[in-house]
Amino acid sequence: MADIEMPQLGETVTEGTITQWFKAVGDTVAEDEPLFEVSTDKVDSEVPSPLSGTLSEILVEEGDTVDVGTVLARIGDAAGAPAEAPADDAEPDATSQDATPDTAPEAPQSPAGDDSPAKTAPAASGSHAGGEVDRQDQHFDVVVIGGGPGGYATALYGASAGLDIALIEKNKLGGTCLNVGCIPAKELLETAAVRRTIEHAADFGFTVGEVETDWSKTLERKQGVVDTLVGGLGQLLKSRKVTVFDGHGRLHAGHKVTIEGGESGDVALSGDAVVIAAGSLPRTIPGFDVDGDIVMTSDEFLSMDPLPGSAVVIGGGAIGCEFASTMSDMGTSVTVLEALPKILPGCDADVTRAVQQSFKKRKIDVKTGVSVSGHEPRDGGGTTVSYGDGETIDVDAVVVSVGRRPNTDDLGLDGTGVALSERGFVEVDERCRTGERGVWSVGDCIATPALAHVAFAEGIVVVKDILDEDPVPIDYANVPWAIYCHPEVAFAGHSEESAKEAGFEVLTSKHRWTGNGRAMIVGQTEGIVKIIAKKQDDGTGGRILGVHICGPWATEQLGQGYLAVNWEATVDEVAHFIQPHPTLSELFGESVLAMTGRSLHG
Show which residues are catalytic: 581
Alpha-carbon Rg for the chain in angstroms: 26
Residues near 503 by beta carbon (within 8 Å), at least 6 away in sequence: none
Helix or strand run (H / E) with residue 226 = helix 215-239
- Listed residue (561, 585, 583, 584) closest to 574, CA to CA: 561
**Residue 270 near residue 139 (C-beta atoms within 8 A):** yes
3-state class (DSSP) for residue 36? strand
- Listed residue (602, 579, 591) closest to 548, CA to CA: 591
Query: How big is the chain, counted in residues?
Result: 602
DSSP letter for each residue of 526-590: --EEEEEEEEPTTSSEEEEEEEEEEETTHHHHTHHHHHHHHTT-BHHHHHTSPPPSS-STHHHHH
Q: Tell me how far apart the alpha carbons of residues 410 and 250 are, in angstroms, rounded to a whole number.
A: 7
329-352 exposure pattern, b = at least 16 Cβ within 10 A, e = fewer = bbebbbbbbbbeebbbbbbbebbb
Provide the 8-state DSSP code for 95. -
Count the alpha carbons within 13 Å of 339 in the hemisphere toward its beta carbon.
Answer: 14
- Listed residue (245, 259, 279, 47) closest to 165, CA to CA: 245
Kindly report the number of other CB atoms within 10 A of residue 243's CB atom.
18
**Residue 153 near residue 233 (C-beta atoms within 8 A):** no
Q: Tell me how far apart the alpha carbons of residues 172 and 415 are, in angstroms, rounded to a whole number.
A: 29
User: What spatial distance separates the first Cα and last Cα of the chain, rounded to whole Å?
Assistant: 70
**Residue 300 near residue 290 (C-beta atoms within 8 A):** yes
174-189 exposure pattern, b = at least 16 Cβ within 10 A, e = fewer = bbbbbbbbbbbbbbbb
Complete edge-to-edge strand list for the sheet that includes strand 53-58: 2-5, 71-76, 53-58, 28-29
Kindly report the number of other CB atoms within 10 A of residue 261's CB atom.
12
